[in-house]
Amino acid sequence: MRMSVIGCGYLGAVHAAAMASIGHDVVGIDVDRRKVDALSRGEAPFFEPDLQELLTAGVESGRLKFTTDMAEAAGATVHFIGVGTPQQKDGYAADLTYVNAAVDSLLPHLSAGDVVAGKSTVPVGTAADLAPRIEATGATLVWNPEFLREGYAVKDTIDPDRLVVGVDAGDDGQAAADILREVYHPAVAKQTPFIVTDRATAELVKVAANAFLATKISFINAMAEIAEVTGADVTQLADAIGHDVRIGRRFLGAGIGFGGGCLPKDIRAFSARAEELGRGESVAFLREVDAINLRRRDRAVDLVINAFGGSVFKKNVTLLGAAFKPYSDDIRDSPALDVAIRLHGLGAWVTITDPAAIPNAQRLHPQLNYVEDRDEALREADAIVLVTEWDEYRRDLTPEHASTLTAGRVVVDGRNGWDAAAWRAAGWTYYGMGRP
């Protein structure tokens, strides 16, 4: 099937490459000439496992191409809208500028029978506003939210755990849903749940899922706050309650909290939209979810300060990680960088290492010291802070090896990823998040 993907950022580039990999003819369209040129050469503009291989194969096969010319969308059966919806600069609401611009640019190139599939995360009600313009061309609008995990985005696109398609009632909507079944034919053949809803529900599914995940993370971090004043161990608490099948252990890892380009801005936009709908009280708890999340960054900084008796001035502090999560180079709203900047502002000499995110971090915060090699970054450090759970830090770095490199023996485990007893036995002063 021939399809276009409007917007070739993180979502769009992954979607375009994945669709080409399962046999579709795909044109990716973006206004950023440099990004389009890189993608046209088969070069991934960001780090995401397996994406580079898919891009190379797609471009070489001829099934995947990229352009800045919206006219290239003409003749496609399905047009995916995958542009960003950032937080507004003057408030919590989502900025729909790019969504509206993408639709306006696409309209002249639509034909009767085309399907426009929104994938961007938008406030509920957005599809209802867009539909009249799109349907005036004879095309049909559906909403097909994405549920990508950074670091696993290729897998989540090709082999998702569910597919949601929001359609308008009537024959056109059902026909559009059938076309989406063809688009995702490998997943459908594997009996992946294919859930057809109305468009408002499809929009709400995405933000509701993110709100739930954010709430679960902040819940265990709230328990960490209680553990810290009672002497309890939040990791044991999480293990115990996680055995309850109604709760589960996933996303119950206390630490410095969540970040990235989705959860923080999505829960804020959800709160703002609920206020607009006159139901702000229904999701008022999300304000506290956000506040708990930000407090954990404060706590990590406080632990480092307390480890040095109240001041980090002229102390060498090495942070293991810059990306907001492992297997990604995404530094948007990164807790790791937030902690680094705060320590730097207090007079510490901050060194950051990360397997993938150093170039991005360096562009945003050139005042910090960056070292690519993990061991070199640890050399002569007075303290180590684990802020991103890369395997080479969480699993592969032993306290015995770290002792051969550092000047001090202070470790702050911002992700509760290490064995506290092992570090203490090796002579380290260990501080965890919600651990005695």
Residue range 24-82, pLDDT digits in tens = 999 999 999 999 999 999 999 999 999 999 999 999 999 999 999 999 999 999 999 99
- The tens digit of pLDDT for each residue in 367-401 reads 999 999 999 999 999 999 999 999 999 999 999 99
Q: Tell me, what's the pLDDT at 169?
A: 83
Q: Are 306 and 312 in contact (CB under 8 A)?
A: no
Rounded to an integer, what distance in angstroms lies between the CA atom of residue 198 and that of residue 431? 49
Q: Tell me, what's the pLDDT at 274?
A: 97
- The tens digit of pLDDT for each residue in 173-182 reads 899 999 999 9
Q: What's the one-letter identity of residue 305?
A: I
The angle that helices 97-106 and 126-135 make with each other, rounded to 10 degrees, is 10
- The tens digit of pLDDT for each residue in 254-288 reads 999 999 999 999 999 999 999 999 999 999 999 99
Tell me what the pLDDT averaged over the chain comes to.
Answer: 97
For residue 172, name the pLDDT band (cuts at 50, 70, 90): confident
Q: Would the pLDDT of 229 be above 80?
A: yes
Among the listed residues 26, 262, 301, 337, the single catalytic one is 262
Give the pLDDT mean for 209-233: 98
Q: Would the pLDDT of 197 be above 80?
A: yes
The per-residue b/e assignment along 73-102, b for 16 or more CB within 10 angstroms, e otherwise, is bbebbbbbbbbbbebbeeebbbbbebbeeb
- The tens digit of pLDDT for each residue in 320-350 reads 999 999 999 999 999 999 999 999 999 999 9
pTM of the model: 0.94
Conformational region of residue 139, where left means phi above 0, alpha means psi within -120 to 50, and beta covers everything else: beta
Residues in a beta bridge with 118: 81, 143
pLDDT above 90 as % of the chain: 99
Active site residue 262: yes
Q: Tell me, what's the pLDDT at 242?
A: 97
Q: Would the pLDDT of 171 be above 80?
A: no
Q: Are 46 and 38 in contact (CB under 8 A)?
A: no
Q: Tell me, what's the pLDDT at 34?
A: 96
Q: Alpha-carbon torsion 99, 167, 203, 247, what sign?
A: negative
Q: Tell me, what's the pLDDT at 271?
A: 97
Rounded to an integer, what distance in angstroms lies between the CA atom of residue 196 and that of residue 142? 10
Residues in a beta bridge with 320: 353, 386
For residue 170, name the pLDDT band (cuts at 50, 70, 90): confident
CB atoms within 10 A of CB 245: 6
CB atoms within 10 A of CB 130: 23
For residue 162, name the pLDDT band (cuts at 50, 70, 90): very high
Q: Which backbone phi and psi does 42 adopt, to 5 degrees?
A: 80, 25
SS3 168: coil
CB atoms within 10 A of CB 128: 14
The helix (H) or strand (E) run that includes residue 383 is strand 383-386
Rounded to an integer, what distance in angstroms lies between the CA atom of residue 181 and that of residue 158? 13
Best CA proximity match to 66, nearest among 98, 97, 31, 115:
31
Q: Tell me, what's the pLDDT at 29?
A: 98
Q: Considering just the CA atoms, what is the radius of gyration of the chain in Å?
A: 23
Kindly state the tokens that stand for 19: 């669709």
